[in-house]
Homo-oligomer: A and B are copies of this chain.
């Protein structure tokens, strides 16, 4: 990749996981919502994704975008997800196509399909249950945050169809550092380790595709999201599995 990759929401947990794994492998341009406490080792901007000028300044000169920025709270109020997640994502796409950016990786969320769980929980969080969502299903958000994330996917669909920009939506599971959530079956079912998070985003930067929706989780025994599409199209090869942390192994930390 010759041009820098813009990473928005660089101050959040997903940004930390991505930079932790790929910091030295790409030229990064970071976008923060608040000024970073430590001076970054990379080019960066501070701005608001719902401010058009801030977005244009962020996108200037980049060749690809990993768009993580937005209100990340599952219980965020409508006005915030409308401005930060929906409007912010449209502004980012608009600036991207104007700048000639060729690839857009979008941090979608498990919450875009959270309501599928209602009829099957807690069974679907368990190893014996074979139910899978594969990314081709119609969104069923479990909250207004999930509505905003599903809307981001549809905005991406439009910009892909209309302007040809490659779009990969990663419906991110439950990202935690070091080990899976403890005593939280749902979180274990959709765990995403830091190194698998960095890896799937690297594959989304490099693989050959047009428009994709994939699940970003580790290869958990408990999973109810299929990772077949991510493996097939992106070449995703997860190394972690929340089951490896059961019982005695819980203290192990492969990252």
Instruction: Give the B-binding residues of A (Cβ under 8 A).
Output: 78, 82, 86-87, 90, 94, 115, 118, 136, 138-144, 146-147, 150-151, 154-155, 157-158, 161-162
Asked if residues B151 and A154 are in contact (CB atoms below 8 Å), the reply is: yes
The copy count of this chain in the complex is: 2
Nearest-Cβ distance from residue A119 to partner chain B, whole angstroms: 10
Contact of A115 among B90, B146, B157 (CB under 8 A): B157
* Majority DSSP secondary structure for residues of A touching B: helix
Asked if residues A158 and B146 are in contact (CB atoms below 8 Å), the reply is: yes
Asked if residues B118 and A139 are in contact (CB atoms below 8 Å), the reply is: no
Contact of A154 among B90, B94, B141, B161 (CB under 8 A): B141
Q: A116's closest neighbor in chain B, by CB?
A: B161
Asked if residues B115 and A162 are in contact (CB atoms below 8 Å), the reply is: yes
CA distance A139 to B151 in the complex (A): 10
Asked if residues B154 and A158 are in contact (CB atoms below 8 Å), the reply is: no
